[in-house]
Chain A
Amino acid sequence: MPGVSIRGLTLRYGDLAAVEGLSLEVAPGELVALLGPSGCGKTTTLRLVAGFLTPESGEIWVGDRCLSSSASVVPPEQRRMAMIFQSYALWPHMTVAQNVAYGLRFKSGVGRSDRIRRVSEMLRVVQLAGYEARYPGELSGGQQQRVAVARALVVEPEILLLDEPLSNLDANLREEMRFEIRRLHEAFGITTLYVTHDQAEAMVISDRIAVLERGRVVQTGTGDEVFGRPRTRFVAEFIGRTNLLDGVAAASDTVTVGRLRFRVAGTGVAPGTRVAVSIRPHAIALTEPVDHPAPGVNALRGTVKRASFLGDSVDYEIALADSDIVLRVVTPVGQRRRAGESVGLQIDPAACIMLTDAGA
């Protein structure tokens, strides 16, 4: 089971760089999500890996085979990969069984009876046993999705590529299929690249997330890492909601924002550097206003501007005292604050992440 190594990949459309010097290592058996907003180059990257596009520079390796470089590209059909498309791309003129069996025609050493056996086995795995003779047009969206999965997995590919495979499903089905795809990955252990713009999907499904911005990987890590310790403003804002405060580093673990001072998770930045502080709305606790806060905790005062009850949580906008900053705060349903009420805010310094690309 080989891994994938993407090195310095670049592809431009005219003047527009779709992918620019993108590098990424995927370990054997790992599932990496390429996460980013539309136009960040994630689908282009996937199509480059599949061999549908030729890079201008950079290389794509699978194990010890160099599959793509600007000089030569192994065509898709010789890459031993499988791909699941956003539109599923099921062939409407073939039955479910014919769709799933198609890739086996090109695998040597798979006889006819073997083919039939493998197809029905795979359809059983994706819970579509008995649907062999149906046409794709006669299936629901979720069933079509499963056929696409079966068609990709039955050939036992070295690499599996998924291009936003769940975006055409309704919300409930999408959530169900997330776990399903994760389950299948754990069962088969195929090295997988998964393109999505949905962070929750990326977190549920992947071992690791690669966040893409304008054709580059800006951060890779587990869901915990990219959410809890974003390295740039872009990552902090794209993965989950956050409050971003522009300020100046006063010490290696202190940032001044206007007249306020924040203790932050230390990163060893030189004093005087312009930085931003990212604070997740969930990381802020609301208290009664206190005059003498406990040491080591960021304690602030403010006034509730707006409070919205969301069912399982309450979403506040709090205007900070001595500042024109308004913070978003999300708390569990419990003690409810009303608009106009004075409140205290407490934030653990470990939840205040200093971002050094504040110049943006």
Chain B
Amino acid sequence: MRLGARALDRSAVVWVGAALALVVLMALPLGWLVALSVSGEQGATLAHYRAVLGDLALRKAVWNTIVLAFWVGLGSVAVGAPLAWLTARTDVPGRGVIRTLVLASFVTPPFLGAFAWVMLAGPNAGLLNKLWRGATGSEDALLNIFSMPGLIFVVTTYTFPYVYIMIANTLALIASDLEEAAAILGAGRFAVALTVTLPMVLPALVSGFILAVLQALALFGSPAILSLPAGFHTITTQIWTFFHFPPKIEMAAAFSIPLLLATALLLLVQKRILGRRGYAAIGGKGGQRRTIALGRWRWPAFGACLVVMACAIFLPYGILAKAALSRAWAQPLTWDNLTLANFTFTFFEYGATRDAIVNTLELGVATATVGAGLVALLAYITSRRLVLGHRLVGFLALAPVVIPGVVLAVALFIAYTRPPLLLYGTLAILFIAYLTKEMPVGYAQSDATFRGIPPELEDAGRILGAGRLRILRDVTAPLARSGIIAAWCFIFIGVIRELSASIILFTPTTKVMSVVIFDLKEEGQFGAIAVLGLVMLALTFVTVAVVQAALGRDVLGVRE
């Protein structure tokens, strides 16, 4: 507060600079977004909003999005909550493996899962449908992934980990003695669950539901892959089509604002729920967590977990591997069909994929490096209260959370296709998009890191004669190192899988892997898609392994 304002020293330039960079990064695009959504020939107008809301097709897209988001939220709770309870509290076999697989599902790019499921459950060539026809002799397809239920299924498959994380971490904090206290007073097992456990988990449950809904609202890849062939739009795919020729940018802006507001509102609700009922998170300090014996339900429960994991991991990863290794992905994997041609094609022969891999890696490293540095500075500023308005800095760093990728892309497109910064068509605009989008995740990680380093450790050095920057180097940086590495990795993972902003901001020379995967689908190049997908997954898992090593715990765990 005031001490920061007065005790300015030479390092002040760094702090103020970082804070200003943040404001520009956030304020410029969002300002343009709002401005363009109300701009007309003669001054301000609401015409674009009227056009958007009056259009029947657009209203249908909104309705589809609501249906999708609601069912994904519900489905995620239905899958994520029991799974969390099973792994956190019961003796179901293979809890560690299940947890790892949930993590794998969490970091799998959803559009990759959608592709895999096209190969698994496409009505004509889908593997599962072919097996079904072979087994029953039926002419009809068993599953049609190109449908609203199909879309809901695939999105849920990669969204339930959000609920899982909320519930598992909450259960981990609720000591068994809270439940035992009820049991000793005469409550039966069922009554304990209903009157003690459930109310304590409820905030996390609702909060997880909202997170899942938010994911579904903002998602672009899976709807674009599954709903467009089925002949319906969601808000995000609709915004994307506004950029097709002839572009209707004002319409895109006007259509983006409601999505932005809905996201912000839902996050606010979620925060309030978690904030008010926060006791669930602080209740169980050091208490014992008792494991519940499932008895004869042990193996059926394991079976249920296995089904979930098959849908999220085994089947999709399997079909991707098969497609990567075969000449014709739909044919059985025989010696004749086996090939490495897809790999040589993707890495060496086909220019688009090769360039995309290079672009993605460049952007990933650049964004993660600049981003980790920036969020470290910002988190340091806010945790040590170095500038006036440090609270605002913290707020702004987390604010991009409410901006769906597509909306962010619209805003950046508007802001950087005009002076003073003509960045459209360069990698720079993608860099800025990724930096903005990944800021909250990196900031949250860094903030936790610096809060874990007591300020006295810095004070102790200063009173002995070291300046603030010197102390940053000698004391703060070494202690924050693993936390900053983790922030780097989180940002890197986010960047290499990013599709929803990239799909609007790319130009032919600035394609990234996710965009190329999307393009290749039009060309029917499933082998190359699979190879790129596997590369993406490999990069992701290596990075996750680095995080786990740096933090000494698994990524899904409670952040202290």
Contact = CB atoms under 8 A, between A and B. Distances in A.
B464 A52 contact: no
B93 interface: no
B6 A102 contact: no
Contacts of B432: none
B463 A54 contact: no
A102 B461 contact: yes
A75 B9 contact: yes
Contacts of A78: 465
Contact of B6 (A73, A87, A105): A73
B43 to A, nearest CB: 44
A155 interface: yes
Contact of B463 (A53, A77, A87, A93): A77
B463 A81 contact: yes
A75 to B, nearest CB: 6
Contact of B467 (A75, A86, A87, A102): A75
A50 B478 contact: no
Contact of B464 (A53, A75, A82): A82
Nearest to B4: A54
B467 A77 contact: yes
A61 interface: no
B464 A151 contact: yes
Nearest to B459: A52
A111 interface: no
Interface string B449-460: 000001011011
A106 B3 contact: no
B7 interface: yes
Contact of B457 (A79, A89, A105): A89
B550 to A, nearest CB: 15
B478 A102 contact: no
A8 interface: no
Contacts of A54: 2-3, 6-7
A91 to B, nearest CB: 6
B2 A89 contact: no
A48 B9 CA distance: 17
A93 B456 CA distance: 15
A52 B462 CA distance: 9
A87 B456 contact: yes
B475 interface: yes
Nearest to A75: B9
Contacts of B463: 50-51, 76-77, 79, 81-83, 161
A76 B456 CA distance: 13
A50 B455 CA distance: 14
A54 B454 CA distance: 20
B456 to A, nearest CB: 4
Contacts of A79: 463
Given A83-B459, A93-B478, A77 B7 contact: no
B479 interface: yes
Residue picked from A50, A79, A85, most chain B C-beta under 10 Å = A85
A67 B462 CA distance: 15
Contacts of A52: 3, 459, 462
Interface string A1-42: 000000000000100000000000000000000000000000
A349 interface: no
A336 interface: no
B466 interface: yes
A76 to B, nearest CB: 4
Interface in B466-506: 466-467, 474-475, 478-479
Contacts of A75: 7, 9, 462, 467
Interface string B219-251: 000000000000000000000000000000000
A277 B459 CA distance: 45
A158 to B, nearest CB: 12
Residue picked from B2, B460, B463, B478, most chain A C-beta under 10 Å = B463
A86 B454 CA distance: 12
B2 A106 contact: no
Residue picked from B456, B466, B474, most chain A C-beta under 10 Å = B456
Contacts of B467: 75, 77
Contacts of A142: none
B464 A92 contact: no
A103 B460 CA distance: 9
B7 A73 contact: yes
Contacts of B460: 83, 85, 89-91, 151
Contacts of A89: 454, 456-457, 459-460
Contact of A50 (B2, B459, B475): B459
B3 A87 contact: no
A152 B466 CA distance: 14
A85 B459 contact: yes
Interface string B401-437: 0000000000000000000000000000000000000
Given A50-B459, A89-B454, A89-B456, A106 B479 contact: no
Given A54-B7, A77-B462, A102-B461, 8 more contacts: A52-B462, A75-B7, A75-B9, A87-B454, A91-B460, A91-B475, A92-B479, A93-B475
Give the 3 A-B CB pairs with smallest separation, nearest first: A106-B465, A103-B464, A89-B456
8 contacts: A73-B6, A76-B459, A77-B467, A82-B463, A93-B478, A102-B464, A106-B465, A106-B466
